[in-house]
Structure 1
Amino acid sequence: MLDSDSFGIDTMSALRELTGDPSSRSILPRAPKNPPSYSTREFKSFEAACYKSLYPTTSPEQFRDRLASILEKLGFPYFSLTALNPHPRVLFHNLPDATCSAYEQGNYDQVDYAVSYANSARHPILRSRIEDYMSVAPVQTGEMVRNQDLSILYKSHGFYEFYLIPVVTGRERFLFSLTSQDIAPDFLKKLSKHPEAIQLVAEISVSFGQRKFPKLFRPHEREGKIKLHRQPLAVIHTMTEKDLTIQQFAHSQDRSVHTINQHLASVRKALKVKTNHGAVYQAIREGLIPCPCQECTGQREVKDSRG
């Protein structure tokens, strides 16, 4: 298998161009501008009904169930809303537990091109469009293989297509995803009926959810406590413990340098430092990772032997 450290960047550039491909417009419904400018009575009635349904909610679970009810009337029984900053985290979903467990156990959130696409684009896209690109790419990276495995996982659970909607509010980015256990032609037929309504629900879920549940949508603002996702922390821990360069670590994990740099950037941001060396020092100081020096290691071993 061929690999390239810089291919991750080229891959995402190509994925961003997918929605601009004129040949895709006949099968991929386009999103309206933010906010929707539709003035038909039917659309306004639907918008009012969404707010009327969501306004009384008092818990995230109730909010999720009301969203699910709205989307089911449009023909989409399953959805998820994922916050992308400072790391991917699912806010709401009603996908089967078995599907979510398999996704989490496979750590697919670290390589999922749907997440990468939503982090850098604004137009909706079908997941099959990403899969089409991967199938004809001249170079197959480890991340591409993992995404192909993810597609197989979804299909094994009966999900053959996803409609991915990036939502941007200020500096925050979110991914709203719709799916159903339909074959692709039926899925596209449903999309073509209600593209504006679907986009509206995606935007309402974020804007309204931020006001209703600010702590859920912005956990990194709580009490100034340092929040670091497991994977970026594991990256900096292993690199420090084994004294590896970025290139060496990426090669040992069959990951691209671009991906490892993204993890390190999230660590620097969380620790409010500008360099990787500063991040290591601050992570040790905050007790997030153990100090790798021989003196500290020896002290830990003595302590552990004493119980």
Structure 2
Amino acid sequence: MEIYFLGTNAGVPTLQRNVTSVALRLLEERRSFWMFDCGEGTQHQVLRSPLRLGRLEKLFITHLHGDHLFGLPGLLSSRGYQGGTAPLTVYGPPGLKAYLDISLSVSQSRIPYKLEVVEHNGGLIFEDDSFKVESALLEHRIDSYGYRVIEKDRPGSLNTERLKAYGLKPGPLYGVLKSGRDVTTDEGITITAAEVLSEPKRGRIVTVLGDTRPCGNSIPLAREADLLVHEATFSHDLARMARDYHHSTTVQAAEIAKEAGARQLLLTHFSSRYGSLDELIPLLDEARSIFSETLLAEEFRLYPVERKTGN
């Protein structure tokens, strides 16, 4: 599980940074990747990355401002031209389906795969055997949502040496034990799952927040997240401007991470007033003064989501 940024700028693209798009690579977990937001030019960014649109499984839109949305019709169309045939689900606020229906129909774009658009107002929006995704409304000029991706705990590893000592060879009973159930061999020996299974592998939590002022829903979405992606459009000396434009500062993002008990914070969605990476270093220093485990999001860089160990 890794985070990969395709765009980190706010409002409009610059020569240094593209507008917002974040990928969550789940190659080991699902052989796919998920995407959060799709600003203009995202498909060009994908071409410069190790990502392949055919592996895109889910796409989550935080809100319907152009710097988070204008790249979506082109990317959906290109996915088909690049051989993408697997189903794709796009999640987002009400209005998303109308936007896509009009864009794709007027341009006569052909989508040669099953495309499902799920509009939501927050809550549990997806769940299967291995993951669930929760969403909640943030505080922006239009409805903007944050997403909390929760990887479910996975069973521990089987102690194959101990199983061999019982005379149990690989087969269906291994799967039964792996699921946490006890088994009895043909010889009448009962083997409990507890004695041959290691501790479960704790699932990870990734939170990606859309554009927002500091607000009440940010904390539960980010609670004990292994990695929190939070906008930091302005340095803290521009806190009044940030509030007027319904955005957050570096310090506010760090305070959210600290209060929520997150393990790591990635700052993104930087104002164009900060041009080069060097100009962003003071923003990083501001955030680290509150929350030391903070990094600046850099485009085309992988950020592993480490699994927490122990209690």
User: TM-score range, shorter-chain basis?
Assistant: under 0.3
TM-score normalised according to structure 1 size: 0.23
Higher strand share: 2
Higher helix share: 1
TM-score normalised according to structure 2 size: 0.23
Instruction: Between the two structures, name the one with larger relative contact order (CA 8 Å, sep ≥ 6).
Output: 1
